[in-house]
Amino acid sequence: MPVGARYNGGMSAETWKFAPAYELPHWPFVAPPDLGAGERIRYPVVIAGGGLAGLTLACDLALRGVRAVVLDEDDTVGVKGASSRGICYAQKSLEIFDRLGIYERIRAKGITWSVGRTFSGNDEVYTFNLQDDSASEQPPFINLQQFYLEWFLVDRIRELDTTDLRWKSRVTQVENEADAVVVEVETPAGRYALEADWFIDATGANSRIREAMGLEVNPSRSTDRWCITDVRFNTPFRTERWTWVDAPFNEGRAVWQHLMADDVWRLDYQMAEDCDPEAISRPEVAGARLRAQLGPDVEFEFVWIGPYQYRDHLLETFRVGRTLFIGDSAHVVSPFGARGGNNGIQDAANLGWKLALVLAGEAGDELLDSYHAERHPAAVENLTVCRRTARFLAPRSRAEHRIRRAVCALARRHEFARRLANTGRMSQANAYPPSPWVKAGARSVQNVAFDGTTLMHCLAGGTRFLGLAFGADAATLVRLDELAALFPIDFRRVDAAGPLAAHLGAAAGTVVIVRPDAYVAATMAEATPEAVAAAMRDALGMDERARLAAAA
Amino acid sequence: MSADRPVMRSDANMADPDGFYEAWVAAHEGLSDEESNDLDARLVLLLANQVGDPQVLLACIAEAREQGCRRP
């Protein structure tokens, strides 16, 4: 859709206005030292793809002192044009961004929300308030156009001045060798090859790197069709997530209504499966849908009209030798529930500290297997959740329509049936299953404020675990502190009657070991230095390494 | 779940089976097929919530499906 054009609809007298195009930043291509160098230069981490996942990882690594190279084929942020992909950023992502130092910009620019309402016809059938379960300094959600988030990340990465951001640099070939990954790059000034200790594919859903390596993702494409219509108007709708299962103003099909920055509303309309995508995205057709929803008097400008079908896929293994896959290249889900971008961000946060410890020699490279062991099940869970929502929103038979009608009818009167109205289960920090690294499984800790600090503030310096010693006496702390010389962990006495103890359900005497990504590695009711040391050996994969060595 | 008790009970558990049958049939009187089907769907949901236990619900769904597919 051309932005800035004016179109006088043939079917009505209304003149449709288009908002002026966003002015996105552009960064210059700078010829890298590799061009013209006699031999290949070796780097600790090379990240292909400067989207949400790749930039989050680069920023995370920069704060850990790891100098990554980022190769991006474009020279700006966002998808081509003004369309925003992701708009909803979940609490866990916002906590990560707090640690990375861009949360305040996100909060100032974005729209904070926690309430979602689901309608059937004209009746509200389900309401949730995610704030009810929150103990975090960050809200459950902030909505923001994806390109702003990427922009803030690039600004922050440049400010940290540790990462080598290479624009207009396209990966053309990848060779997985035993002790290095050789990456060939095409640039405006010619081609070169570099070597990476660790190579990260963050090039998105259509990754050619993944394809060239012959890796299967078992894709599935929906027949369900939608049309995003981002429009700017300043009628004060509530800043809540409103969804209709069957909107009277959209021929009984689903509709999404959500605000993002700059007074831009995302109105997403479910279309007939057999519709013509070109026809339904014409301004006069999209405009007629908007008039049916907004009435005749609201003045609006189009920002973006984009028809789409969703799809999903899942890579079987997220680590292949020295190559790791993060974000959409590893997993794609339908858009319901904001589980796409948020999970790319969380992949990056899961991987960053592990790479840093492996590169520093504080953990063996088997620790990187835990990235797959944790993020692959998370992706499976997200896929399952999103497929269930998609099924609710697009019944495939008369029987399915009948079942959904029964849910919506009963939901008008009964609490239990409201829980079945499924227009999206919003992204949460996935719990991780038991593994050699976390014997009891791992769950995320929210960014609770306690004792004059916050969890994220405690985790922001370097790559150290945090031992939370609830109500510990001075002698216990002295004993625990001796472990700080043996493992990357610092201990801290925490008030056993405070908010963090309440959040974790920790009684006095308990020690909770929190990983650098704010997941609990272990909880010990009686923390002896020996027990804490064993938990740290698990978390770093030291015993796993010994076991594998023995098996070999 | 004790080992000697199956997930889904098939023993007689209704205090008044004939009364239930009568009331169920009566609820469908005067309805079109479409309305009847909708009524049954709502009834399944209401009853499912009385049961609650997901194992029992899945066993009941499997049994109902198997009956429907069985050749006469």
Separation between Cα atoms, residue A207 and residue A127, nearest integer Å: 38
In a domain, residue B65? The reply is: yes
Range of the domain at B64: 33-72
Interface contact flag, B38 A403, Cβ < 8 Å: no
pLDDT of residue A546: 74
**Cross-strand bridge partners of residue A48:** A71, A201
Separation between Cα atoms, residue A266 and residue A110, nearest integer Å: 13
Distance from CA of A116 to the nearest CA of B (A): 24
In a domain, residue B59? The reply is: yes
In a domain, residue B9? The reply is: no
**Higher confidence at residue A383 or residue B2?**
A383
Distance from CA of A420 to the nearest CA of B (A): 10
Separation between Cα atoms, residue A114 and residue A240, nearest integer Å: 7
Express each pLDDT in A60-69 by its tens digit: 999 999 999 9
Asked if pLDDT for residue A433 goes beyond 90, the answer is yes
Q: Which A residues 347-406 touch B at CB under 8 Å?
A: 402-403, 405-406
pLDDT of residue A511: 96
Interface contact flag, A409 B42, Cβ < 8 Å: yes
Q: What is the architecture, at CATH level 2, of domain A449-551?
A: 3-Layer(aba) Sandwich (3.40)
Asked if pLDDT for residue A475 goes beyond 70, the answer is yes
Interface test with B, best of A397, A398, A400, A402 (most B CBs within 10 A): A402
Interface contact flag, B46 A410, Cβ < 8 Å: yes
Closest residue in A to B33 (Cα–Cα): A402
Overall domain count for chain B: 1
Q: What backbone phi and psi angles, to 5 degrees, belong to A109?
A: -90, -30
In a domain, residue B64? The reply is: yes
The b-or-e profile of A165-189 (16+ CB within 10 A means b, else e) is bbbbbbbeebeeeeebbbbebbbee
Average pLDDT over residues B34-41: 98
Q: What is the architecture, at CATH level 2, of domain A42-107+138-218+312-389?
A: 3-Layer(bba) Sandwich (3.50)
Interface test with A, best of B31, B32, B38 (most A CBs within 10 A): B38
Express each pLDDT in B12-37 by its tens digit: 999 999 999 999 999 999 999 999 99
- Sequence ranges of the domains in chain A: 7-19+220-311, 42-107+138-218+312-389, 449-551
Name the least confident of A76-80, A508-512, B59-63.
Answer: A76-80
Q: Which helix (H) or strand (E) holds A46?
A: strand A42-48
In percent, the amount of chain A with pLDDT more than 90 equals 89
| Cα–chain center distance at A353 | 17
DSSP A432: B
Out of B38, B44, B49, whose CB is closest to A405? Answer: B38
pLDDT of residue B4: 60
Separation between Cα atoms, residue A438 and residue A351, nearest integer Å: 15
Separation between Cα atoms, residue A361 and residue A383, nearest integer Å: 35
Interface contact flag, A406 B44, Cβ < 8 Å: yes
Asked if pLDDT for residue A451 goes beyond 80, the answer is yes
Q: Check: CATH 2.60.40 for A7-19+220-311?
A: no
Q: pLDDT tier at A535 (50, 70, 90 boundaries)?
A: very high
Separation between Cα atoms, residue A233 and residue B68, nearest integer Å: 53
Interface contact flag, A406 B42, Cβ < 8 Å: yes
Residues of B in contact with A407 (CB under 8 A): 45
DSSP A519: B
**Higher confidence at residue A550 or residue B55?**
B55
Dihedral (C-alpha) A233, A239, A245, A248: value to the nearest 10 degrees?
A: -40
pLDDT of residue A519: 98
* Opening angle at CA A143, ends A138 and A149, nearest 5: 85
pLDDT of residue A84: 59
Residues of A in contact with B45 (CB under 8 A): 406-407, 410, 417, 420
Identity of the amino acid at A511:
V
Express each pLDDT in A10-39 by its tens digit: 455 688 999 998 889 999 999 999 998 889
Q: How many residues does chain B have?
A: 72
Residues of A in contact with B44 (CB under 8 A): 406
Three-state secondary structure call for residue A515:
coil
Residues of B in contact with A416 (CB under 8 A): 49
Distance from CA of B35 to the nearest CA of A (A): 10
Three-state secondary structure call for residue A420:
coil
In percent, the amount of chain A with pLDDT more than 70 equals 97
Q: Does A326 contact chain B (CB < 8 Å)?
A: no
Interface contact flag, A403 B41, Cβ < 8 Å: yes
Say how many CB pairs under 8 Å bridge A and B.
23
HEC profile of A132-167: HHCCCCCCCEEECCHHHHHHHHHHHHHHHCCCEEEC
pTM listed for this prediction: 0.94
Interface contact flag, A406 B49, Cβ < 8 Å: no
Out of A406, A414, A416, whose CB is closest to B41? Answer: A406
User: Is the CB of residue A258 less than 8 Å from the CB of residue A241?
Assistant: yes
Interface contact flag, B49 A403, Cβ < 8 Å: no
Q: pLDDT tier at A87 (50, 70, 90 boundaries)?
A: very high
Q: What backbone phi and psi angles, to 5 degrees, belong to A200?
A: -115, 125
How many Cα atoms occupy the beta-carbon half-sphere of A44 within 13 Å?
21
Interface contact flag, B49 A417, Cβ < 8 Å: yes
The DSSP annotation for B14-35 comes to: -S-HHHHHHHHHHHTTT--HHH
Q: Which B residues 13-72 touch A at CB under 8 Å?
A: 37-38, 41-42, 44-46, 49
**Average pLDDT of chain A to the nearest whole number:** 93
In this prediction the ipTM stands at 0.91
In a domain, residue B62? The reply is: yes
Cα→Cα distances A44→A65, A492, B21, Å = 11, 32, 73
pLDDT of residue A80: 59
Three-state secondary structure call for residue A520:
strand
